Chain A
Amino acid sequence: MDRVKVISNRFFLPGLLLFILILLTTMPLFVQPYVVILLTTIIMYIILTLSWSIFSGPTRYISLASAAFFGVGVYVSAMLGQVLPLPVVIAVGGLVSLMLALFIGLLTLRLRGMYFIIFTFGVSELIRHFLLWWETNFTGTVGRWVVAVDHTTVYYVMLIIFMMALLAAYLVRRSKFGLALQSIGEYEEAAVHIGINVTILKTLTFALSAFFMGAAGAIMATRWTYIDPQIAFNPLFSFMPVLMAIFGGIGQLYGPVLGATIFALLEEVLTTEFPYYYMLLFGIILIAVILFLPGGLVGLIQRWRRGGLEG
């Protein structure tokens, strides 16, 4: 019984993955532009959620700084978009976010639990308000224009970043690195005692996750064409990944991906179908999930699978 399951899994999962990837790559050829734009947004959320869970999943340090990293990417794109080619802009966006994460990581080493959550949120809000103040007082204009890129290119770039993030998340999980992160989440003191350099590990992983967020921000800016600090550093970009990851379930790699996809789709449907009530419905769904699906969608799937095997 077990062997059958292992074999079928070995072929089934990569096959499914390959199928989805091929489908996603060829998608722009046969669907309407609207779908491509929608998919871009969904993939953006997946990237944010996935990279959030690279760090926060195993370590259980809930970071609310996603908006900061995303926004930094957006602003790099706005400032360098005219002078540098697109791939360089995206790489720089990712790298600047990475540096910021290294800096925040080194600062916050002593903080844990609720303090870490509040601190990361404070940092991203500080950047937002500072930029807002700076732009009104020194630049004179609150917003900026970004060089526009056509939808299909944005889509493909987003898809590439997504694959890179997925690969990184997978490798981190499978490596010694990921195991060490897991042990930090389980019991940090013990992790220190068995010789894990907790500080460097946490900071590096935090930086890695920030890189993808920054890159996603840099490409997203070109789709928005107009940005200001309120758009780029919107606190929702900090909250959404957390909600989506928990909605999907943090335990498995596909949890955040699934959570982000369904959540983003749900948001799209609710905003278009019920523009006046969508937040209400959204809130109700959120509370219902927390009450009745504590393990997220992954928990539900696992329970269903186990039930299926027993029956």
Chain B
Amino acid sequence: MGGIYALIAVGLSLQYGVGRVLNISHGEFIMIGAFATFSLYTVFGISPLVSLVICGPVLFIIGFLIHRTLFQYLRGTSESEGAFADSSLLASFGLLFIIQNIALIIWKADIRGYSYLDSSVSIFGALFSANRLVALLFAVGISLAFYLFLTRARLGKAIRAAAEDPGTAQVMGVNIHRVLAICFGLGALMAGFAGVLISMMYEMQPTMGLEYTIIAIIVVVLGGLGSITGSLIGGFILGLIGSIVTYFDAGLSLIAYYVIFILLLLVRPTGIFGK
């Protein structure tokens, strides 16, 4: 689970840390990823791993367009950074309602699920279910690839520059609107990937998004607002804690998250890796 939390959180971190959009509809993109995979698998028999390649880019384009139209307009009309943060938060609520309703119309309110790689694999004598292993491998792989992209690629550097100081980045020749839209798109892409992987292991329903959004927010705060590396590590830490708590009492895991989260905010609000 840690790997998936990391993916979700990195997506949100990109949108908030760089674009200053606390995207409450983040979980809805996860939900779309999960349901699209479900449909592709049950209707066309396309393997969920192939869906990764389909859902990711499609969601990227959707996210890119949403930012280009909606959030860019809001950014232009807002008086200050703070005003933009508030209005974009509200706008993302609007998105949440819209996306969730569309999903409800297409897929109905039922809980869905399918089985894929439902066998168990033994590694060093311990039993793991195959789909979880595959999901973990992919989550780690995507995270690593993304980390390399951010640190090595030219666009990745532009993104980090925009996160540090949008104004200066723009002066230095970064097309800020394009970079921010790409960040939002990448956030949606990450959410889509996470959704595909989640659909392999868990059941889904159109209202599942908000829960994942909340987990993502917790992880992002855990790692430090705006720190993308922090979100990666925070995701793994939270996933680990979740697994340990679930071992004792499954009902307590969400409570444990919130307790950690609240204590952290009180003791060290900048997060583990914050400045």
Contacts and interface: CB of A to CB of B under 8 A. Distances in A.
Given A125-B214, A279-B97, A290-B91, A114 B265 contact: no
B95 A287 contact: yes
A107 interface: yes
Contact of A283 (B82, B101, B261): B101
A279 B98 contact: yes
B254 interface: yes
B265 A113 contact: no
Given A279-B101, A280-B102, A294-B77, A115 B258 contact: no
B117 interface: no
A235 B24 CA distance: 13
A110 interface: yes
A242 B94 CA distance: 13
Interface residues of B, number: 40
A123 interface: yes
A111 B258 contact: no
Contact of B98 (A122, A126, A235, A280): A280
Interface of A: prevailing SS: helix
Contacts of A279: 97-98, 100-101, 104
A287 B90 CA distance: 8
A139 B239 CA distance: 29
Given A114-B85, A118-B265, A136-B251, A284 B94 contact: yes
B158 interface: no
Interface in A269-284: 276-280, 282-284
B86 A62 contact: yes
B97 A122 contact: no
Interface string B64-77: 00000010011001
Contacts, number: 99
A221 to B, nearest CB: 23
B171 interface: no
Contacts of B218: 122
B28 to A, nearest CB: 11
Interface string A273-307: 00011111011101100110010000000000000
A243 B96 CA distance: 13
A107 B105 contact: no
Contacts of B50: none
Contacts of A114: 22, 85, 225
A282 B99 CA distance: 11
Of the listed residues A111, A243, A283, the one surrounded by the most CB atoms of chain B closer than 10 A to its CB is A283
Contacts of A125: 214, 258
Interface string B195-215: 000000000000000100010
Interface string B253-264: 011001101100
A62 B104 CA distance: 30
A239 B259 CA distance: 21
B107 interface: no
Nearest to B100: A279
Interface in B30-82: 70, 73-74, 77-78, 82
Contacts of A107: 266
A114 B81 CA distance: 12
A246 interface: yes
Contacts of B97: 279-280, 282-283, 286
Given A126-B259, A136-B251, A286-B90, A115 B98 contact: no
Interface in B230-259: 251-252, 254-255, 258-259
B221 interface: yes
B258 A280 contact: no
A280 B101 contact: yes
A294 B87 contact: yes
B87 A122 contact: no
Residue picked from B70, B82, B94, B252, most chain A C-beta under 10 Å: B94
A118 B221 contact: yes
Give the residue among B86, B87, B252, B269 with the most A Cβ atoms within 10 A.
B269
B197 to A, nearest CB: 24
Interface of A: 60, 62, 107, 110-111, 113-115, 118-119, 121-123, 125-126, 129-130, 132-133, 136-137, 235, 239, 242-243, 246, 276-280, 282-284, 286-287, 290-291, 294
Interface of B: 22, 70, 73-74, 77-78, 82, 85-87, 90-91, 93-98, 100-102, 104-105, 210, 214, 217-218, 221, 225, 251-252, 254-255, 258-259, 261-262, 265-266, 269
